[in-house]
Amino acid sequence: MLKDKNYQSVILGSTLIFLVILMTILTGGKLLQVDSLQAIAFQIPLLGVLTLAQMTPMLTGGIDLSIISTANLSGILAAMVLIHIPSVYGTLLAIMVGVATAMAVGILNGILIAFLYITPIIATLATMILIKGVALAITKGYIISGFPDSFSFISNGEILGIPMPFIIFIAFALFLSVILSKTTFGISVYMIGSNPTATAFSGLNNKKILFNVYLLSGFLAGIASLIMISRFNAAQAAYGESYLLLTVLACVLGGINPAGGFGKVSGLLVAVVVLQTVSIGFNLLRLSSHLTDALWGIILLVIVVINRAITGKWIGN
Amino acid sequence: MKRIISRQEAYLLLILITFAAFLTFMNPKFLTLENIFDMLRNNTFLGVVALGELVVLISGGIDVSFTAIATVAQYIMGVIISSYYLNSVLAAFLIPIPIGIALGAINAALIYYTRLHPVIITISNLNVFYGLLIFFTHGKWIYNFPPAFRNFAGIRVFTLVNDRGVPYGLSIFTLMWILLALLTWFILRYLTIGRKIYAVGGNIESARRVGFDIFRVQLFVYCYMGALAGIASFIQAELSQMIQPNAIVGHELDVLAAAILGGASIFGGSGSALGAVLGVLLIAIIKNGLILMKISAYWQQVFVGIVIAIAAGITAYQYQLRRKRSRRDAKG
C-alpha cells in the first residue's frame, strides 16, 4: 500500500519535472526568463484558489463542476455593487456579496448532495447550468467593467513586494491545509472519501460533513471570483470555462485520489505551479486555445494511464 | 416486467399532457399537427443521442463527450462528401457511424483501463476530440453539399397541406428517430447484451463475479453511444444544410436532462427507451412553451438546470426508498 503511494509520488513528480523541462526546451529558454516567471506568479492565484475549491469535494470522492459558473455569478453580483457604489464601503460590500452568493450556491449543492442524495456529478452539473443561466439572464451576455481603485488593490496591490493575489492564495491554502489536517471536520472528510459506510457507523454525521464540504467549496469559489474579476477588471457570465478541466487535472496531478480519501494541499500547490508554468509555455509557443484544451485533456489521460500501468491500481479495486 | 409502461413513464406522460394542454390554452397554435411535426423534426438530434446516453447511464456510466464525437464525425463526413462531391445519401449516412464507434471505443478503453470516473475521462476526451478538430480545421464551415444530400432533407413520410396551402408532414428524420428508439428498446429488452447492461449498472461487482466480461459491456455501450452520435450528426447536418463545428458542442446537458427525466437512474441499472423519448419530448415542449410565452432564451438554461435537479432528486429519493425497503426486508 505504502509502496503504491510512493510510486505514485514518483510518477507524478517526474511527470511534472518532465513537463517543465520540455516546455523550457520548446520555448528556447524563454520560459525561465523574468517576464515569464512574473506572468506565472501573476496567474497562479486564480487557478490555485479554484483548485482549492475543487479539492475538498474530490477528497470525499465527489466533484464540484459548478465552481466556475459560481465564480462568474458571484463576480457579476459583486461587480454590480462596485459599479453602483464606487467607494471603499462599496468594495467591502461587494466582497461580502460575492462571497455570500458563492456560499449560497454551495448551500444549494450541499442540500442536493447531502440531503437529497443526488450524485455530486449530476447535482453540480445541474447547478452549473442553472447558475450560468442566471448569470446570462442578469447580464444578457454583456461584460460589466470599470471598478474603483479600492477594489483593484486585490489584483494590483502588494504587501512587502509580494503581489496581493499571491498572498490571498497562500493564506487560503494554509487555511484549507489546517482545516483538513488539524480539525475533526478535515479528518472526517478523508474518512468519508475512504469509506462512507464505516464513517457513518463510527458515529459521524455524513450529511453534515458533506454539506459543509460543498459549502466550503462554494466559499473558495467566491474568493476565486474576487481574484478573477479584479484581474480582468470585468465580470462576465462565461469567463474561465477552460479552468474546470484544469482544476480537476491539478487535483489529479497533485496526488488527490479522484475516488476520495487521499491527497494533501502541498501536492496540489506543486501541481498548480507546474500547470501554470506549462500554460505560460503554451502561450509563449502561441498555441491556439483549442489546442491547449486538447493538450490538457491528453496530459490528464496519459498520466492516469501511466499510473495505472505502473502501480497496477489507481483507485478502488 | 409485466407492465407495459412503468410508473415513471406514466408520470412523465401525465406531466407532458398537462404541459401540452396548458400551452394549447395559452396559444392554440401549439396543438396543431404542423407544430408537433416541426417540433419532432427539430428535436431529432437530441432524441437520437439521448437514446445513446440512456444506454450509457443504465450501465452505470456517463458520457459527456458525445457532442465532440458527433462534431468530429460530422466534419469528416462533410469534408469527404463536399470535396469528392459524393452524390449519395447512403454514403453520407454511413461515414459518421464508424468514426463515432471508434471514438466511443477510445472512451470505453480508457474508462475500463484506468477505472477513473467516466465523467473525468469523457470531459477530457470532449476537450481532446473537439480541440484537435478545431485546431486542424480552424473551425471553417462547410456548406456546398451535393444535390442528393440537399434533397434528402425535404423527404416526408407522408404529406399534408395546411390552410395556407403550404405542405407539411412527418419528416424522414423523425421516422429514423422512432426506428432507433425501437432498436434501443429491442436491444435493452430482448438481447443478452441488453440484460447484461442492466446487470452491470445495477451492481458491477456482482456482475463481475457472475462472470460477465465488464469490458465487453462497456465497449458496447460507449460504441453504441458513438454510433448514435454519428447518426445524429448526419441528421443535424441534413437539417441545417451546413456544418458548423461549434453548433453541437454545448448541448450535453439537454441530453443528460432528457435521459434522466426519462427515468434513467444516475446510479445505473434502470431506465427505458420509451422514457428517454418522453424525456426529450418534455424538454422540447418546455423550450417550445418558453418561446411561445416569449421568455428570454437565457432563462431556458435555468429551467433545464432546475428540471435536471428535480428529476435527479426524484430518482435519488426512489433509490433511497428502495434501499431502505430492501434492508428492512433483509432484517424481517
Determine, yes or no, domain membership for B134.
yes
Angle, vertex CA B62, rays to CA B58 and CA B68, nearest 5: 130
Contact B316 A117 (CB under 8 A): yes
Domain regions of chain A by residue span: 2-6+43-156+175-311
Is residue B50 within 8 Å of B280, Cβ to Cβ? yes
CATH number of A2-6+43-156+175-311: 1.10.3470
> Touching check for A200 and chain B: CB below 8 Å?
no
List Cα–Cα distances, A127 to A133, B263, B287, in angstroms.
Answer: 9, 20, 19
Show the cell assigned to A250.
Answer: 491539478
Is residue B260 within 8 Å of B315, Cβ to Cβ? yes
User: What is the band of A71 on the pLDDT scale with cuts at 50, 70, 90?
Assistant: very high
> Touching check for B316 and chain A: CB below 8 Å?
yes
Asked if pLDDT for residue A241 goes beyond 90, the answer is no
> Touching check for B322 and chain A: CB below 8 Å?
no
Q: Contacts of residue A298 in chain B, CB cutoff 8 Å?
A: 124, 128
> Touching check for B125 and chain A: CB below 8 Å?
yes
Contact A133 B123 (CB under 8 A): no
Determine, yes or no, domain membership for B32.
yes
ipTM > 0.95 (yes/no):
no
Cα–Cα distance measured from residue B201 to residue B191, given in angstroms and rounded to the nearest whole number? 16
Query: What is the domain count for chain B?
Result: 1
- Which residue in A231, A205, A203, A207 sits closest to A113, CA to CA? A207
* Residues within 8 A of B (CB atoms), A 71-110 only: none
Of A131, A258, A296, the CB nearest to B117: A258
Q: Contacts of residue A121 in chain B, CB cutoff 8 Å?
A: 62, 117, 119, 266
List Cα–Cα distances, B110 to A278, A299, B103, B121, B219, in angstroms.
Answer: 24, 13, 11, 7, 10
> Touching check for A113 and chain B: CB below 8 Å?
no
Each of the 332 residues of chain B gets a pLDDT tens digit; together they read 445 556 677 777 888 888 888 888 887 877 788 888 888 898 999 999 999 999 999 998 889 899 999 999 999 999 998 888 778 888 889 999 999 999 999 999 999 998 888 888 998 999 999 999 999 988 889 888 888 888 888 888 887 787 787 788 888 999 999 999 999 999 999 999 999 999 998 888 888 888 888 999 999 999 999 999 999 999 999 998 888 888 888 778 778 878 887 767 666 667 788 888 988 988 888 887 777 777 777 787 788 788 778 877 877 777 777 777 777 766 65
More confident position, A252 or B225: B225
A74: closest CA of chain B, how far (Å): 16
Contact B296 A122 (CB under 8 A): no
Query: What pLDDT does residue A315 have?
Result: 41
Query: What pLDDT does residue B140 have?
Result: 87
> Touching check for B242 and chain A: CB below 8 Å?
no
DSSP B4: S
Span B31-44, pLDDT tens digits = 788 888 888 898 99
Q: Measured in Å, how far apart are chain B's first and last C-alpha atoms?
A: 25
Query: What pLDDT does residue B126 have?
Result: 92
Of A126, A132, A134, the CB nearest to B312: A126
Query: What pLDDT does residue A116 have?
Result: 86
What range does the domain containing B209 cover? 7-331
> Touching check for B321 and chain A: CB below 8 Å?
no
Contact B123 A131 (CB under 8 A): no
> Touching check for B132 and chain A: CB below 8 Å?
yes
Strands A234-235 and A162-163, by their bridges, are unpaired
Interface mutation target, options A58, A60, A117, chain B, most CBs of B under 10 Å: A117
Contact B266 A122 (CB under 8 A): yes
DSSP A314: S
> Touching check for B115 and chain A: CB below 8 Å?
yes
Determine, yes or no, domain membership for B2.
no
Lowest mean pLDDT among A102-106, A142-146, A170-174: A142-146
Give Cα A234 distance to the centre of its chain: 20
Interface mutation target, options A69, A107, A115, A121, chain B, most CBs of B under 10 Å: A121
More confident position, B183 or A13: B183
Asked if pLDDT for residue A314 goes beyond 60, the answer is no
Q: Contacts of residue A118 in chain B, CB cutoff 8 Å?
A: 266, 309, 312-313, 316
A193: closest CA of chain B, how far (Å): 14
Determine, yes or no, domain membership for B99.
yes
- Burial class of residue B332 (count of CB atoms within 10 Å of its CB; 0-12, 13-18, 19+): exposed
Of B123, B134, B296, the CB nearest to A245: B123
Of A123, A140, A298, the CB nearest to B309: A123
Sign of the torsion formed by the C-alpha atoms of B267, B270, B272 and B275: negative
> Touching check for B2 and chain A: CB below 8 Å?
no
Four-point Cα dihedral B188, B189, B191, B196, nearest 10: 60
> Touching check for A295 and chain B: CB below 8 Å?
yes
Of B130, B267, B305, the CB nearest to A129: B305
pTM of the model: 0.84
CATH code where residue B12 lies? 1.10.3470
Size of interface A-B (CB pairs under 8 A): 144
CB atoms within 10 A of CB B179: 10
> Touching check for B109 and chain A: CB below 8 Å?
no
Determine, yes or no, domain membership for B26.
yes
